Structure 1
Amino acid sequence: MGETKDRKIHLFLLLVVAAVFIWSIIKPSGYLEWALEVSPAVVGIIILLATYNKFRFTTLSYVIMAILSILMFIGGHYTYSKVPLFDWIKDVFDLKRNDYDRFGHFLKGLFAIVVREVLLRKTALIKGSWLFAISISIVIAVAALYEIIEAIFTKLSGGGEAAKNFVNTQGDIWDAEWDMACALVGSILALLIFSNLHNRLLKKDHHKPNV
């Protein structure tokens, strides 16, 4: 009964993500920028679908991955520096920049829970400080890799409009460092807030594939 309920929740999440994906591809700000922004999420979803019956994550991890995918699809549709809600926030609070990018990197810290699950299930690590530190380190490493990819793309493309929208520095020379700092803070908070819930879900789901 519990597994059937979980499958329905997972299907619902997939349908929501698919709906946002379809919306995002309709008249985006630019198709090259859209492809660059959404491709990591699309690849991730394909991998999750292909491995669902062999390695099934907890529902908490699937919720997190759905949220992160939707964030990327919204950013890809508008470009991160032009998301309307955050333009409104910028105007209301007289901010210097559209902070959807910062918000997105902060929420990407939630991925630490997904990393934590893989480490607990596929390595010899146990709950404790080492698991906490390594989960955070992997999230920061991924964030840093993404910044390196942005820099390489900018160099190879000659710094055109697509590169400008993809990198999204908005004139801040410390943009990459701020993005990684946001991911760091987000990952620490995610582990502090959700680890106990994650432990309970892992214990409850011990009968499922590869748990």
Structure 2
Amino acid sequence: MSKRKIYVFMLIILLFLFVWSAIHPVNRMVWFYEIIPGVLLTIVLVVTYRTFPFTPITYFFAFIGIIIIFAGAHYTYGNFPLFNDLRDAWHLSRNHYDRLGHFFQGVVPTIFFREIMIRKNVVQKRGWLSFILISISLSISAGYELFEVSYAHIMEEDIDSFLGTQGDQWDSHWDMLCALLGSLFIVIFFSKWHDHLIQKRSYRF
């Protein structure tokens, strides 16, 4: 199967998941808010496919990240059923699906910006690339946390259910730590493979 057919298949899966996510979500307002990043990312991937096609590894991580967003929007990040079962079975203090979501909040921006910066030759000295990528990832995570809190207060939403804090006053700090770990995960374990895929496609630098 060609890469193009695989990408089309992935897109079909995402469309079905979007429709499923929209059917009787736990909280319609939270669903609408949470689904936006996944929808925007999907649109960007489709629009840029011909003019700036990314490597398969970048599409793969984006695909997983969007699935996490759509599922989290449907159930809310603090009530994902499978992670409720894991919480109860392992006697955990909380549902950790939100942590997984924020881990990928570090993974996806890092892999995207890494590819863009390398192919556009944004950073002349590659030694600075990882530092810049991690900084961007943390900035996005921090900005997202600030937006969440501000939006929740402005819209007078139930803060705990809206943000998925589950009673943890340090939830925002843990979320940013998870995003940092997601960024480090890409930088440490996937940089060489990512470089190989970029060079293999003979992109212009």
TMscore range, shorter length: over 0.9
Deviations 1:47-67 (A, max 9, x none): 221222111111111111111
**Contact preservation (8 Å) 1:37, 1:166:** no
2:23 corresponds to 1:12: no
For 1:136, the aligned partner's letter is I
Aligned to 1:145: 143
Secondary structure of residue in 2 paired with 1:150: helix
CA distance in 2, matches of 1:93, 1:132: 36
**Which residue in 2 is equivalent to 1:90?**
87
1:23-102 matches, cutoff 5 A: 23-102=20-99
- CA gap of 1:127–1:68, structure 2 versus 1, over 3 A, is farther
* CA–CA distance in structure 2, aligned partners of residues 167 and 132 of structure 1: 29
What amino acid maps onto 2:193 in structure 1? Answer: L
Structure-2-length-normalised TM-score: 0.93
SS in 2 for 1:80: coil
Letter in 2 for 1:81: G
Question: Secondary structure of 2:54's partner?
Answer: coil
Question: Contact 1:13–1:63 at 8 Å: present in 2 too?
Answer: no
Q: Distance in 1 between matches of 2:10 and 2:193?
A: 19
Structure 1 partner of 2:174: 178
Code of the aligned partner of 2:111: I
Tell me how large the CA RMSD over aligned residues is: 1.7
Gaps of 5+ in 1: none
CA displacement, residues 13-35 of structure 1 (integer Å, 9 cap, x when unaligned): 21121121111111110211111
Are 1:192 and 2:193 counterparts?
no
SS in 2 for 1:144: helix
Contact 1:105-1:180 at 8 Å conserved across structures: yes
1:165 to 144, 161, 167: 161
Structure 1 position 108, deviation (Å): 2.6
Structure 1 runs of 4+ with >4 Å offset: none
Q: Give 1:125's aligned residue.
A: 123
Question: Contact 2:106 / 2:141 at 8 angstroms: preserved in 1?
Answer: no
Amino acid at match of 2:64: I
CA distance in 1 between partners of 2:29 and 2:2 (Å) = 38
Does the 8 Å CA contact 1:120/1:126 hold for their aligned counterparts? no
Q: Which runs of 5+ in 2 are unaligned?
A: none
Distance in 2, Cα, partners of 1:11 & 1:81 = 31
Residues 107 and 186, structure 2, Cα contact 8 Å, conserved in 1: yes
- The Cα of 1:127 is off from its aligned counterpart by 6.7
How many residue pairs align between the two structures?
A: 204
Relative distance call for 1:197 and 1:126 in structure 2 (3 A) is farther
Structure with the bigger RCO (C-alpha within 8 Å, sep 6+) is 1
